[in-house]
Amino acid sequence: MDDNSPLDDCMDDTNDDDIEIIENEDIDDLDRSSDDEEDGDAIGGDLVDDSIHGFNGHKKAVLSCALSSDRRYAVSGGEDDTAYVWRTDDSGVVFETSGHKESVVCVAFNGNDSYVSTADMNGLIQIWTINGEKVFDFEVDEINWMSWHPMANNVLMAGTATGDAWMWKLNTNLTSDCKTFQSFGKSNCVAKCLSDGKR
């Protein structure tokens, strides 16, 4: 270290009176007070559930959710490697997905609510009819986002952590056409298809 390093300057400016010695007992008191705050006592007690409906099915945290355009259905994806489609009028389960092997991080309804898509952290994308029939699956890299085209109800798009963007067109015979937009290796974090459907 040279004679006039910034660290030396900092140490020279420090006065012994500025240094406070904290004893172990003081640290124990700090730990106890932070535990009390975590228990909720400092926040104001118990939380009150005033929700209209509860969608109870996931065994772990819910990571994504969406509502159908007609507001009749909700879909939720969770850390339990599952997605559920629910009726919003009575909270009943329409169907539970199968096949995901990692947390379901993206869920979406298409524009006319005939399809629901689910995607997990490993990049498995599945498309289901609103009645629970799986009509499509495809594996890509780790998913960052997934969205249906705003005008074409059969076009799904997704972006990955490796930077690629994918677009699938579901055909009437349930085959699909796929287009990949290559990247330069940077993560594709978000995208938006404008309402005119062209950009």
List pLDDT tens digits, range 88-126: 999 899 999 999 999 999 999 999 999 999 999 999 999
Q: How does the average pLDDT of the chain come out, rounded?
A: 82
First CA to last CA across the chain, in angstroms?
57
* Alpha carbons 157 and 147: distance in angstroms, whole number: 5
Give how far Cα 43 sits from Cα of 31, 34, 62, 134, 191, Å.
17, 12, 24, 45, 38
> Taking the mean position of all CA atoms in its chain, how far away is CA 151?
24
Q: Give the DSSP per-residue string, 57-76.
A: --SS-EEEEEE-TTSSEEEE
Tell me: pLDDT of 41 over 80: no
Give the residue, 70 or 14, on which the prediction is more confident: 70
Tell me: pLDDT of 24 over 60: no
pLDDT confidence bin for 58, thresholds 50/70/90 = confident
Answer yes or no: are the C-beta atoms of 93 and 114 closer than 8 Å.
no
pLDDT confidence bin for 23, thresholds 50/70/90 = low
Answer yes or no: are the C-beta atoms of 141 and 123 closer than 8 Å.
yes
List pLDDT tens digits, range 147-195: 999 888 999 999 999 998 899 998 877 678 888 888 777 898 888 787 7
Which residue is it, tokens 């009028």?
89
- What's the confidence (pLDDT) of residue 70? 95
- What's the confidence (pLDDT) of residue 40? 47
Helix or strand (DSSP H, E) at 176: strand 176-181
Tell me: pLDDT of 138 over 90: yes
Domains in the chain (CATH in brackets) are 62-181 (2.130.10.10)
Tell me: pLDDT of 17 over 80: no
Q: What letter does residue 30 receive in the DSSP assignment?
A: H
Give the residue, 100 or 54, on which the prediction is more confident: 100
Q: What is the pTM of this model?
A: 0.71
Gyration radius from the chain CA atoms: 25
98: β partners: none
